[in-house]
Amino acid sequence: MPHQLDKTYDPTKHEAKIYQRWEDSGAFKPNPKAKKDPFSIILPPPNANGHIHVGTAMFTIEDIMIRYRRMQGHPALWLPGMDHAGIETQVVYERELAKEGKSRFDFTREQFYNNVMDYTKTNQSIMIAELKSMGFSLDWSRLKFTLDPDITEIVYDTFKRLHDAGYIYRGNRIVNWCPFCRSAFADIEVKYREQLDPLYYIKYGPFVLATVRPETKFGDTAVAVNPKDQRYTKYVGQEIEAESVLGHKFKLKVIADDHVDPEFGTGVVKVTPAHDPNDWEMGLRHNLEVKQAIGTDGRLTGLTGKYAGMPATEARAQIAHDMEERGLMDHIDMNYKHSVGYHDRCGTLIEPLVVEQWWLRVGELKKPAIQAIKSGEIKFVPERFTKAALDWLENLRDWNISRQNWWGMRVPVYYNASGDKSKPEYIIGTEEDAVKTYGKGGYEAETDNFDTWFSSGQWPFATLMATGDFDKGSYPTSVMETGRDILFLWVTRMMMLGLFRTGEVPFRTVYLHGMVTDAHGKKMSKSKGNVINPLEMTGKYGTDALRLALTIGITPGNDGAISEQKIEGYRNFNNKLWNVARFILGQLPEDYLPAEPKLTSPADHWMMAKLNTATRDTTKAIGDYRFSEAGQIIYSLLWDDFADWYLEASKVSPNHDLLIYGLETILKLVHPIAPFVSEAIWSQLPWQKQQLIVTPWPEPATIKTSNKAALEFENLKQVVQATRTVAAEEQLSKPTILTTNDQLIQSAGLIQRLARAGEVKRVEQGSGLYLDTTADAWLQADDKLINARRRRLTGQRNEKAAYLKTLESKLGNTKYVESAPANIVQETRDRRNETAQLLEKLDSQLKTLN
RNA sequence: GGGCAAUUAGCUCAGUUGGUUAGAGCGCUUGAUUCACAUUCAAGAGGCCACAGGUUCGAGUCCUGUAUUGCCCACCA
C-alpha cells in the first residue's frame, strides 16, 4: 500500500504535474463518447495586456460547472480565448511607452501595430500559463485570439451581412471623442464624474446667458430660449447682434426649443451643434449650421483667430479672462456642480465632436434579443439582471462601431478613389475585391477599426464556427459566466449579434458574478494598496485554497470580500482533506482492494446517510448555480461529519470499505471546486486507474441505511457532546457516564473514547447530572458537583419551560393546527413531548438538590 | 431624477419556494494534545435579523414606508 503521504499537503509539489497529466490525457476535450447533451461554455476572453487578477480567477465558477458536467457524463467544452481588447491594450501599451518618454506618434501606424501585436502575444503566453496554474480545464487545442484570421473573416462576414440587411450606415454625427486616443467612443464607454466648474454668465447682445464652456462660443450658431418663456418671446425668430471676444460683431438667430429649461441660468442658452449632444439635436430640429471650434486634437481650430492651436482646457480660462477685460462677462458662479464625461479607459476628458463614423442601426436588431429575454429563452442568474438587460436594450440607441485607434481589427471597407463616379462609393470586402471593383490604385482602404466589443460581441459563434464545433451541438452555448460590469458592454451585444447571425441565442443562461473586493468590502485598487495578487496567494496557499475562497461565501451578482486570512482557512481545509486520506490510507492492509461497504455499526449507518444527503444536496446546489452552498455542504461533510465523528469513531472499530467509500465520495464532490488536492489524493488510490477528473459524479448509494441505527449514533453524539461540555466547564477528568439505555452500553467503548470518559456503566435507575439528550444518560456526580451545576441547570430548566410554553400555546391555537401542514404540526407535537419529558427530568433532578 | 442591491454575531458573509429555539468562517475566551492533521482537537461567550407599520396560525424571509451605504442608467447650457 503506497501511502507515503507527506504530513501536510504541499500544493507546489503536485499542481503543475497534475495539470500536465490532465492536459496530456485529453481530459479537457469534450468526450466524444459521452452520451448526454453537450455542455459548453465560452471563456470570456481575458485582455492579453498583463497578468491575471482576482477577477480572472473568478472564472473558477466556470471550471466548477465544466468539471461537474464532465463528471456527469456530458461532452463538456470550455473554450479558451484571448482578446486583443483594442483601446484598452493600446492605452496600457502607450503607458509603457510613456515611461520611456515616447508616444505612438514616434512610430508609423504599422510599426506601432506590429509592436503591440508582439506585446500582446508575449502577454498571451504569460496569461495562458497563469490560467493553467488556476487549474482551469480549458480545451487549449481550441484556443482562439480575436485577431486570428479565421475569426476576422467571420466578423467581416457578419459586418457585410449587417450592411446588406441595412443595419450599417456611415454618418457624420456628434460622437464622444477622446482627444488622447484620437478616437470616437460609444456612450457606454464614457464615465461621468461630478465636479465643480465655473459657470460663466456671459453677455450675448441683449442677453446674459450661462455657460461652462466659453471656448466653444466660436461654434455657436444660435441662441435658444424656451417657447413658453414670456421674457424672450419677442426675440424668437429674430437675429441678435453680439460682440465677439475677438473684437468684431456677429449675428445669431434666436430659436425657441423645448429643451431649454427656463429655470436654469437666465433661461437663455447658446447653441453649439458641433460640441454638445443636445445642441446637436437642436441643430437638427432647427436646421442650424455646424461650426467646428475644436479639432480632433482637442485644440481650437482656425475659426478661433488668435486662440487657434490652444488646447481647449487652456483656452477656456484665457477666453474667460479676455471676455472679462472686454466687459463681456456679467459674472461667474464658482460653485457650479455638474458631471462631466471622461473616457473610461484612459481617463481623458471627452470632447463631443462631429466626426464621420460607422454606425450600427439597432432599432430592429435588438428586437429578437429583447424577445429572447422576455420569453425566458435566455435566463439570468441572479434573476434581477433580466430587467436591467431589458431596460438597457429597450433604450439602446444606434451604436458607433468604428474607432480611430491604431490597435484593432480594421473595418473591411475600401473607398472609391478611382475618380469614376459610376462606381460605388465604397465596397465591403478584401483588397482583392477592391482591385476588382476599382482597379489597381483606384481605391483607398478604410483606416478605422472596429469597436472591440463589436468583434467580441460575436465571440460565441465566431469561436465555435472557427473550431468547427458550431454544428455539433455546442451552440447555443449552455452558460455565459462573466462579470456583472460587462453586462451591457458585452453580454447584451452578444445577444443581438448572435441572434442576427445565427438565428439562435448565443447562450441559454447568463451567470453574472460581482466584483471581488478586499477584506472589508472595499474595491481593490493599486492606489489603496489593497490588491490581492492571485498568483502570490496560490503560491503561498495553493490554487485550491484560492478557488475555495472565491466560491464559498460569494453570492452571484454581489460583490464578494476576500482576504489572505480567508484563503488561509481553505488551505487548512485542503490540508485536512489530505490528512484524512493520509490517516485512512495509512491503516489499510497491504494489497487492500475496496469492496462494496457493509454497514455494521450505528456510525456506519449515520455516515452513509450523511454522505447520501450531502451528495444529493451538492448535486442540486451546483445544478442551481448555488456554488457557495455546494462548497459549504462539502466543507462540513468532510470536517464536521467525516473527520470529527466518523474517523474518530472508526478508531474503535474501522470499516475500511466505508472509510474508502466516504473518502472517494468526498473527493469526487469536492473535485470541481478543489481539483488539485482531490486529484493528488485520488492518484494515491492504487485501485483507481483513471484520473478523478474523468470519474463519474457520485450518486447516493443504493445500499440501505437504517434510520434507527443512524439515530442511535446521533444519540451517542449528543451524550458525548453533553459530557464534554460538563467536563470542560467543571474541569472534570474522566467522568463516569451512567445509562439505562442498552444501545448506549453496546457503544460504551466508543463513548468512552469520544467523550474522554472514565467508564460507561449500565444502571437500573439514573442518578447524578442528567445529560441534556433524548438518550437516558447521566453523569455520575456528587452533591458538590450538582450544586456547582445548579445555576446552569436552573437556567436550562427555565429555558425549556419557556420553550414548552410556546409550543403548547402554538398547539392550543386551533387556527395553527388547522391551517399549518400536517407534518409541521406533527413536528411541533413531537417536540412538545420531548421537551416535556426533558423538563420533567430536569425538574426531578433539581428537586434532589433541595 | 430613475432603477438595482445591501443592511443578520466584533469582522466577512450564508440563510433555496414563509414552518425546529437564526447559521458558517475568521476573531475572541477557556482548556487539551506522544497515538492523521497546532495548517490540530474540545468547550464557551457573542444576535430586538437597520427602523416603523402591515399581511399571515406563523415573517430574517412577503407587502408598504423610512434611514444609511454601494452600484447602474439618464440629465445637467
ipTM of the complex, rounded to two decimals: 0.95
Strand B closer than 7 Å to the CB of A102? no
Whether the beta carbon of A807 falls within 7 A of nucleic chain B: the reply is yes
A728 touches strand B (CB under 7 A): yes
Q: Which nucleotide is nearest to A727 (CA to C1')?
A: B43
Q: Strand B within 7 Å of which CB atoms in A 41-100?
A: none
Among A370, A388, A391, CA closest to A557: A388
pLDDT, one tens digit per residue, over A321-345 is 888 888 888 888 888 888 888 988 8
Per CA to C1' distance, which residue is closest to B5? A558
Q: Which nucleotide does the CA of A830 lie closest to, via C1'?
A: B20
Residue nearest to nucleotide B18 (CA to C1'): A820
| Protein-to-nucleotide distance from the CA of A395 to the C1' of B3, whole angstroms | 13
C-alpha cell at A10: 504541499
pLDDT per position as a tens digit, A473-492 = 899 999 999 999 899 989 99
Distance of CA A473 to the CA centre of its chain: 26
Burial per residue of A482-499, b for 16 or more beta-carbon CB atoms within 10 angstroms, e otherwise: bbbebbbbbbbbbbbbbb
* Nucleotide nearest A279, from its CA to each C1': B77
CA distance A181 to A155: 24
Measured between alpha carbons, how far is A61 from A66 in angstroms, rounded to an integer? 9
- CA-to-C1' distance for A827 and B63, Å? 29
Q: How far is the CA of A592 from the C1' of B68 (A)?
A: 63
Cell of A24: 496530456
From CA A254, how far away is CA A233, in angstroms rounded?
10
Q: Residue A800's pLDDT is what?
A: 86
Name the one residue in this structure whose C-alpha cell is 485512512: A584
Q: Report if CB A795 to strand B is under 7 Å.
A: no
Residue of least CA–C1' distance to B36: A583
β-sheet bridge partners, residue A560: A516
pLDDT reported for residue A37: 93
HSE (side-chain half, CA atoms, 13 Å) at A698 = 25
Beta strand pairing call for A207-211 and A190-204: antiparallel
Q: How far apart are CA A85 and CA A752, in angstroms?
A: 65
> Which residues in range 267-306 of chain A are in contact with strand B, contact meaning CB within 7 A of any of its atoms?
267-270, 276-278
Tally of residues, chain A: 850
How far apart CA A498 and CA A490 sit, in angstroms, is 12
Q: Which of A51, A70, A47 is nearest to A134 (CA)?
A: A51
- For chain A, residues with pLDDT lower than 50 are 1-2
pLDDT of residue A539: 95
Separation in Å: B71 C1' and A836 CA: 52
Chain A residues 733 to 762 whose Cβ lies within 7 Å of strand B are: none
The pLDDT score that the predictor gives to residue A1 is 45
Cβ of A211 near strand B (under 7 Å)? The reply is yes
> Which of A465, A453, A471, A460 minimizes the C-alpha distance to A498?
A460
Calpha distance A310→A761 (Å, rounded): 98
Whether CB of A583 is under 7 Å from strand B: the answer is yes
Asked if residues A786 and A769 have their Cβ atoms less than 8 Å apart, the reply is yes
Within 7 Å of a protein beta carbon, the nucleotides of strand B are 3-6, 11-16, 19-21, 24-27, 30-31, 36-44, 56-58, 70-77
Residue A775 burial (CB count, 10 A) = 19
Q: Is the CB of A791 under 7 A from strand B?
A: no
- Which residues of chain A between 381 and 410 are close to nucleic strand B, CB under 7 A? 384, 387-388, 391-392, 395
Residue A845 has which C-alpha cell? 433532578
Separation between the CA of A511 and the C1’ of B37 (whole angstroms)? 37
Q: Give the model's pLDDT for residue A73.
A: 95
**Within A 324-363, residues with CB less than 7 Å from strand B:** 338-340
Can you give the distance from the CA of residue A594 to the C1' of nucleotide B72 in angstroms? 56
Locate the DSSP E strands across A226-277: 239-243, 249-256, 268-271
Minimum-distance nucleotide, CA of A578 to C1': B37
The model's pTM is: 0.93
